[in-house]
Copies of this chain bind each other. A is one copy, B any other.
């Protein structure tokens, strides 16, 4: 059975996965890039984005789990683009002509549109459906591989609440955002369904892995 996996999902100590005030050019709102600096310093990131070779240490080891075995991604409308992207019929996502997914990507939106084929193997599909139905569709497209759940926080929370997530990697960054969208709301006793491991690393972040029991 293909698993549903979350990788490299970064939150503040106070649990925000996205800051306040998402906008064009500010996909994480007032959080800016700060939730992801740990990742920019890894070999995983430099291999993908170029620049000086990053560290191959613990943060890299966790980050590099993001790609292997994935055949499709599911994401929320808020990850695909800034508020209001649905009003632009030519909008093609926040990643340019060659997005880093290289697989079918299923965007959850109440205003679906025709699929968009991008360079590099990424095709965006738009679904107005339940988490369970979206997962079923993504699994069929993944050709036996796993499905990645890409966020944002409210989408991950919805899939967790419905018991659909098999594996989750959350990275807790030592900062307090104070406002934004929380990951953890309404998930009392989640630990009953997962084995949780915590590993802090020299960069200051703590990697939390949730493995379904």
Contact = CB atoms under 8 A, between A and B. Distances in A.
Interface of A: 13-15, 172, 174-179, 184-191, 196-200, 204-206, 208
Contacts of A199: 200
B196 A204 contact: yes
A178 B187 contact: yes
Given A13-B208, A15-B14, A15-B15, A174 B198 contact: yes
Contact of A186 (B178, B185, B189, B198): B178
A15 B174 CA distance: 13
Contacts of A196: 13, 174, 204
A177 to B, nearest CB: 6
23 contacts: A13-B15, A13-B184, A13-B196, A14-B15, A14-B184, A14-B187, A15-B184, A172-B198, A172-B206, A174-B191, A175-B189, A175-B191, A176-B184, A176-B187, A176-B188, A176-B190, A177-B188, A178-B187, A178-B189, A197-B204, A198-B200, A198-B204, A206-B206
Those 3 A-B pairs whose CB atoms lie nearest each other, nearest first? A178-B188, A14-B184, A174-B196
A200 B179 CA distance: 26
A16 to B, nearest CB: 10
A6 to B, nearest CB: 15
A194 to B, nearest CB: 9
A189 B175 CA distance: 7
A13 B197 CA distance: 12
Q: A176, A178, A200: which has the most chain B beta carbons within 10 Å? A: A176
Nearest to A187: B176
A63 to B, nearest CB: 17
A174 B198 CA distance: 8
Contacts of A176: 184, 187-191
